[in-house]
Amino acid sequence: MADDPDFSDLLVAKDEAVHELSDLLERLAPIEPHDWESLERWYDMARNTIEACFASITIKNYFVDNSGFRFSFHIRRGRKFLRANKKRAEGIIKRMIQGVESQSSDSTTVDHPSIFSNQIFIVHGHDNAAREAVARVVSKLGLIPIILHEQPNRGATIIEKFERHSDVGFAIILLTPDDEGRAKGEEKLSERARQNVILEMGYFVGKLGRERVMVLLKGDIEIPSDVIGVMYEPLDDGGAWRFKLGKELQAAGYDVDLNKL
């Protein structure tokens, strides 16, 4: 392994960098070596987090070059190989934490928004395929998808965990036909999203404003009548929603390159 780089080029406060790097370790720990999808998503998240914490590209390259994940994902190496890479990645993140902790508290060198501005919360129901497709697009755009059940519990209740991870700059709501319901007196059942999805959509509209919430619809689903002005976009099989999402992120102030999609 190459010599450790200079960890003093922080874009965020020292404590925040330590918190974000420690969170990466917690997310990596439960992932099994055979779970390619989760490992790749973690790898993308780690690169984005490191890029948001440090001003120097040298530190991101330090992680990419020494973890070995990029090479193993490319050629689909076996579980034993990935287990070794997972252990190396854990070691690298721990060295980065030690490097940051050794810096003085005033080592932040660049005035930069909070790292949470790069985090995009994904509210979802039971459609795992739709959730993963959206998370992959967010990662490709260089942002960090936040999926609640993937975050560490740390002894918190569901609502406490939700509040802890809701400090984001944009939310994507997936309205997928997971439930059925009807108004009293009617006979026909309508396809509906899960109640928790509707609740969380209202939460983010109130917290972030309508311009920072985008709703992706799947199928002939019932739309809440009292949420006017929120962006609705069909989750079409052709993938046009990906570019609509990218444009909405740009309009919200995110510097994303649609050519990556």
Average pLDDT over residues 238-245: 93
Average pLDDT over residues 193-201: 92
Q: What is the pLDDT of residues 87-128, one digit of tens each?
A: 888 888 999 999 898 877 655 444 433 434 588 999 999 999
Taking each helix axis as running N to C, give the angle between helix 36-53 and helix 79-101, from 0 to 180 degrees, rounded to the nearest 10: 20
Q: Would you state the pLDDT for residue 122?
A: 96
Domain ranges in the chain are 14-101, 115-260
Measured between alpha carbons, how far is 52 from 142 in angstroms, rounded to an integer? 10
Distance, CA of 93 to CA of 50 (rounded, Å): 10
* The pLDDT of residue 87: 85
Rounded to two decimals, what is the model's pTM?
A: 0.59
Q: Which two tokens stand for residue 251?
A: 């309009």
pLDDT tier at 138, thresholds 50, 70, 90: very high
Q: Average pLDDT, stretch 49-75?
A: 69
In this structure, whether the domain defined by 115-260 belongs to CATH 3.40.50.2300 is answered with yes
pLDDT of residue 63: 82
21/258 Cα distance (integer angstroms): 28
* pLDDT one-digit tens code per residue, 216-226: 999 888 877 66
| pLDDT-based confidence at residue 173 (cuts at 50, 70, 90) | very high
